[in-house]
Amino acid sequence: MSASASTRPDESGADLVLEHVTKEFATFTAVDDLSLTIPQGSFFALLGPSGCGKTTTLRMVAGLESPTAGTIWINGKDVTDTKPYNRPVNTVFQSYALFPHLSVLENVAFGLRRKKVADAREKAQQFLDLVELGHLAERRPAQLSGGQQQRVALARALVNNPAVLLLDEPLGALDLKLRRQMQVELKRIQTEVGLTFVHVTHDQEEAMTMADTVAVMNAGKIEQMGRPEDLYELPRTAFVANFLGQSNLLPGSVVDSGELVGVDVGGARVQLPADRAVSTSGKVLVGVRPEKLHLVAPGEEPQAGWNVLPDAVLTDVSFTGVSTQFRAEVPGLGTLSVFEQNSRGSRAAAAGDTVRLAWDPAYTFGLDGDEDVDDGVTDGDE
Amino acid sequence: MSIAAALSTEASAGPVGGGGAQAQPVRKARLGAYLLLAPGMVYLFVFFVLPIFALLATSLYVKTPGAELGVYDPAFRWQNYLESLGAYYPEILRSFGYALVATVAALVIGYPMAYVIAIRARGKPLLQGLLLVLVIAPFFTSFILRTIAWKQILADEAWVVAGMKFLGILPPDGRLTATAFAVVCGLTYNFLPFMVLPIYANLERMDTRLVEAGGDLYANGPTTFARITLPLSMPGIVAGTLLTFIPASGDYVNSSLLGNNATTMIGQAIDRRFLVTLDYPTAASLSAILMIIILVLVMVYVRRAGTEELL
């Protein structure tokens, strides 16, 4: 059922390409002019808060929703109007959606039987062994635990050797410990089978642990895409800076340009590498991650060339073992977070102390000054 | 099905009253359960269990020589059963035949109805409610009246007969009233809601994400239906077919209003034996035979359908 036989010669190496894909529902736009290329064999994560359009994107790739506009290509073939059962794509559903009337083995063999694969039972058994559930083949899904059902759902999708494997928050229903275990396991399996995985999640840690490439989605658009390290170290929007980990974002205005841009933040002058800034004139947001900040107690001197914020008053000190987390109130800038490693014992700083905050300018990033400082801030860890 | 569930809770509640501090509340809870059951038990004992025994006793009575019509002596005359079977086996076979055809027809008509209400109209409570009311609406009129209405629908001068003659399905001198066809039509119509409602209740609970999963695993629409939706709705189908087949096989209204002398069903025969010829032993033995056959058929059917696993 080749809806259109046209291929894209320039993208022939790419496994999954979305081109200007838009999905409008009656009352809102879930996905807004999204373009995306996911290379073959990669572990790709779509990360975003609920309602950002990540699941809708996944469902459009699976064929369970059809885009209002745009084109979806898989292996150079236009599949936009192809029915789900004719797409070389399989999904691990959030609810697993295992067939309750079939045995675990028959669940896994379901896709193979539809494709009339000769040794369906043997192949299904082989993939059950891969997820270490070979001994439960004759059970019903209801007789398995949540984690086991999750593995069956994974085996049921993997066994078909799809061009793209879609995972819709597959670890969402598992408890924290099992989730961490499955993250490692999923990564292992992906490396072993070498398929393209597209993983949808709202858990930033999950996305960063597993994926080669993370796309942060917000309000139907991709905010930023890249390697987890790059996204973390150099966020380009306030949303990414806040959604992926924590950030201190300080509103300021550029007073001096050059390779190191001078910025006035609340009366203090800090430096920002020009190549790490979204804009280098007018109003900007100066960003720095909490673990990059250091406390400088009275009597100590910050390292030469570092950015320094004077007159910070500690409002909260919480010792977490590995690190100590401080909240520091800086006049004109609000509250900043500071994480200090306790690698040389914990610091004898208490709430009410006045300190200076210092950091290496190389870790500073600059954002557009018109952005909302709190965009993408989440309450606690989901 | 639900009986099995009740039995299993009973069984698991059994060994709990082991002793110690636990025993007192458990005993109290059990007493409460019996009290809740009591009104129903008493009612069923007086109006179901006693009459059944009366019926079974009557089925073995013997006619008093020279006595008046309708007077019998208590006895154990097992020949009553053989004689009843010998005299009425055509009616018995015909009843089950008609009931079977009507059940299949009700399933073919009723399943799509239940499917549309439960799956297609899902998320539209207003439409769903309206369609359900339409299914139940016939119960607002009397069973007899509705059956008599079918006489009008199938009458010689009505459009159904005219249409069928026009299409050549019915010969020019053919008719539908007072035929087996009319009886089966009446049975199908009258018991259709009993088919639709259990299937609806079953499909209503079905997780439609399983259908999506079927599509994702290379099964097209018909295959997904055959492999997933249909097997998962088996408990509803079993309940619906039982609720249709059992009353249909004992029905006597449809065949007496819509049939002729050659379409007599066992219900009619029992009715006539009881109320017209006052032949109580024969009528009672026929009732017992009907009950036993239905019981055996139902047991074999439920076994066969293998629905215990699904519940």
Strands (E) located in chain A: 14-24, 29-39, 43-47, 69-74, 77-78, 89-92, 164-168, 196-201, 213-218, 221-226, 248-256, 260-265, 268-273, 283-288, 294-296, 307-319, 323-330, 334-341, 354-359, 365-368
Whether A269 and A263 have beta carbons less than 8 Å apart is answered as yes
pLDDT confidence tier of residue B175, bands split at 50, 70 and 90: confident
Q: What is the CATH number of the domain that holds B225?
A: 1.10.3720.10
Side-chain-side CA neighbours of residue A332 (13 Å): 10
Distance between CA atoms of A109 and A99, rounded to whole angstroms? 11
Beta carbons of B102 and B188 less than 8 angstroms apart: yes
Q: What is the dihedral angle through the alpha carbons of A180, A186, A187, A191, rounded to the nearest 10 degrees? A: 160
CB contact under 8 A, A156 and B217: yes
Domain contains B177: yes
Tokens at A342, concatenated: 């306790």
**pLDDT value at position A102?**
95
Q: What is the pLDDT of residue A348?
A: 74
The strand pair at A283-288 and A365-368 is best described as antiparallel
Q: Of chain A residues 155-184, which have a CB less than 8 A from chain B? A: 156-157, 160
Antiparallel, parallel or unpaired: β A69-74 and A213-218: unpaired
Nearest to A235 by CA among A199, A278, A264: A278
Question: Which SS3 state, helix, strand or coil, does residue A185 take?
Answer: helix
- What's the gap in Å between the CA of A33 and the closest CA on chain B? 25
Chain B, nearest residue to A142 by Cα: B310
* Whether residue B118 has pLDDT greater than 70: yes
How far, in Å, CA of B213 to CA of A149, rounded?
A: 14
- Res A4: pLDDT: 42
Its domain, for residue B270, covers: 88-310
Q: Residue A85 and residue B215: Cβ atoms within 8 Å? A: yes
Mark residue A282 as left, alpha or beta (left: phi above 0; alpha: psi -120 to 50; beta: remaining): left
Looking at the complex, does the CB of residue B124 fall below 8 Å from at least one CB of chain A? Answer: no
Whether residue B219 lies within 8 A of chain A, CB to CB, comes out as yes
pLDDT at B11 over 50: no
B305 touches A at CB < 8 Å = no
Closest B-chain CA to A159: B217
- Which residues are CB-neighbours of A232 under 8 A, at least 6 positions away? A208, A244, A245, A289
Q: What 8-state DSSP symbol labels residue A53?
A: S
Q: Which candidate from B210, B219, B228 shows the least CB-CB separation from A85?
A: B219
Q: What is the pLDDT of residue A14?
A: 53
Residue B270 maps to a domain:
yes
Query: What is the mean pLDDT of each successive set of 10 residues along chain A, which is 382 residues long?
Result: 41 74 92 92 93 93 94 92 94 93 95 94 93 93 92 94 92 84 88 91 91 94 94 95 93 90 91 92 93 89 90 91 91 91 78 92 93 77 42
Distance CA B169, CA B181 (A): 13
Banded pLDDT at B286 (limits 50, 70, 90): very high
Residue B293 maps to a domain: yes
CB contact under 8 A, A83 and B220: yes
Residue A56 distance to chain B (closest CA, Å): 14
Nearest to A93 among B213, B218, B309 (CB): B213
Sign of the alpha-carbon torsion through B77, B81, B87, B91? positive
Look at residue B116 and tell me if it is in a domain.
yes
Sheet holding A29-39, edge to edge: A29-39, A14-24, A69-74, A77-78
CA atoms in the 13 A half-sphere facing the CB of A64: 23
What is the total count of domains within chain B?
1
pLDDT of residue B310 exceeding 90, the answer is no
Write down the pTM of the prediction: 0.80
B308 CB within 8 Å of a chain A CB: no
B289 and chain A in contact, CB less than 8 A: no
Q: Which chain A residue has the Cα nearest residue B221?
A: A85
Neighbours of B245 (CB within 10 A): 26
Whether B112 is in a domain gets the answer yes
Q: Are A197 and A41 in contact (CB under 8 A)?
A: no
Say yes or no for a CB contact (<8 Å) between A64 and B215.
yes
Residue to substitute from A64, A74, A114, interface B, most B β-carbons within 10 A = A114
Q: Is B208 on the interface with A (CB under 8 A)?
A: no
Q: Do A95 and B217 touch (CB under 8 A)?
A: no
The predicted pLDDT at position A359 comes to 95
- Best B208, B212, B218, B223 member to test A by mutation, with max A CBs in 10 Å, is B218
Say if residue B224's pLDDT is above 80. Answer: yes
Residue A86 CB-half CA count within 13 A: 11
- Average pLDDT in the B265-280 region? 92
Interchain contact, B215 vs A95, CB within 8 Å: no
Q: Please tell me if residue A149 touches chain B, with a CB cutoff of 8 Å.
A: no
Burial (CB < 10 A; 0-12, 13-18, 19+), residue A341, is exposed
Query: Residue holding tokens 């980990």?
Result: A245
Q: What's the pLDDT score for residue A379? A: 57
> In this structure, which amino acid lies at residue B26?
V
Tokens of A308: 């320094």
R_g of chain B computed on alpha carbons:
24
On the question of pLDDT at B12 being above 70, the answer is: no
Residue B123 is assigned to a structural domain of this protein: yes
- Tokens representing B14 are 């059994």
Question: Cα angle at A210 between A207 and A212, to 5 degrees?
Answer: 90
User: A337 with A327: CB under 8 angstroms?
Assistant: yes
DSSP 8-state secondary structure symbol assigned to residue A227: -
pLDDT of residue B29: 81
* SS3 sequence of chain B: CHHHHHHHHHHHHHHHCCCHHHHHHHHHHHHHHHHHHHHHHHHHHHHHHHHHHHHHHHCCCEECCCCCCCCEECCCCCHHHHHHHHHHHHHHHHHHHHHHHHHHHHHHHHHHHHHHHHHHCCCCHHHHHHHHHHHHHHHHCCHHHHHHHHHHHCCCCCHHHHHHHHHCCCCCCCCCCCCHHHHHHHHHHHHHHHHHHHHHHHHHCCCCHHHHHHHHCCCCHHHHHHHHHHHHCHHHHHHHHHHHHHHHHCCCHHHHHHCCHHHCCHHHHHHHHHHCCCCHHHHHHHHHHHHHHHHHHHHHHHHHHCHHHHC
Q: Give the Cβ contact number of residue A122 at 10 Å.
A: 11
By DSSP bridging, strand A196-201 and strand A164-168 are: parallel
How far is A28 from chain B, CA to nearest CA, in Å? Answer: 19
**Shortest Cα distance, chain A CAs vs residue B310, angstroms:** 7
Q: Please, are residues A327 and A336 in contact by the beta-carbon 8 Å criterion?
A: yes
Question: Is B294 contained in some domain?
Answer: yes
Q: In this predicted model, what pLDDT tens digit does every residue of B137-174 receive, in sequence order?
A: 988 889 899 999 999 999 988 898 989 988 988 888 88
Residue B52 has pLDDT above 50, yes or no: yes
For residues B93-114, give the mean pLDDT. 97
Does a structural domain hold residue B187? yes
Query: Least CA distance to B309: which residue of chain A?
Result: A101
Mean pLDDT of B249-259: 92
